[in-house]
Amino acid sequence: MKKTVLTILIVVMAVCFVYGATNTAETHNFSYAVNDGDKVEQTFKSSDVVTINLKPGNQLVLYIPANATTGYQWVLKDDFEEKFVQLDSTDYKAPDSELMGAGGTSVWTFSANEEGVTTLAFEYLRPWETDVDPEIVLLIQVHVKEK
């Protein structure tokens, strides 16, 4: 009887450990600014949807941490509605640090056009790895509305 109880207890603990280890989602961060305003810090978990509100004519700049030395880069999926938001430019800002392998920032600039809603889907991946899921997925739902 004691062996059975001990065995059940060990199995339950193992299941709890495995569930806990696989159910933790790492948080990430990025920041953004509208019309050269103050940067807004944002935290997200991969595949969560983050909402940003804009007015037509606003400029949106995204600052997403990246590390080009790892081979990873942020890729914007091309299925967003350009009539609502248009990509103006992208850039990679190297780190200020002199440490080998230090990460930098991927900078994306968009213009808000007409009223509507679209989703910017970014994937952090190594472009040559075609059969691998992205390391991180950042989904930004942009609401363009005259207020």
Residues 6+ apart with CB under 8 A from 38: none
d(C-alpha 36, C-alpha 112), whole Å: 14
Question: Has this prediction a pTM greater than 0.75?
Answer: yes
Compute the Cα dihedral for 38, 113, 139, 143 and give only its sign: positive
pLDDT of residue 4: 57
pLDDT of residue 26: 93
pLDDT of residue 117: 97
Q: What is the pLDDT of residues 87-114, one digit of tens each?
A: 999 999 988 877 777 889 999 999 999 9
Q: What is the pLDDT along the chain (147 residues), one digit of tens a residue?
A: 555 544 544 544 544 444 444 445 799 999 999 999 999 999 999 999 999 999 999 999 999 999 988 999 999 998 899 999 999 999 999 888 777 778 899 999 999 999 999 999 999 999 999 999 999 999 999 999 997
Per DSSP bridges, beta strands 104-112 and 40-45 are unpaired
Instruction: Return the closest-CA partner of residue 25 out of 42, 45, 43, 44.
Output: 45
Burial (0-12, 13-18, 19+ Cβ within 10 Å), 120: buried
Q: List the domain boundaries for the chain.
A: 26-144
d(C-alpha 108, C-alpha 30), whole Å: 11
Tokens of 80: 């967003």
d(C-alpha 122, C-alpha 48), whole Å: 11
Task: Give start and end residues of each alpha helix (H) in the chain.
Answer: 2-22
Give the amino acid at 17: F
State the architecture of 26-144 in CATH terms: Sandwich (2.60)
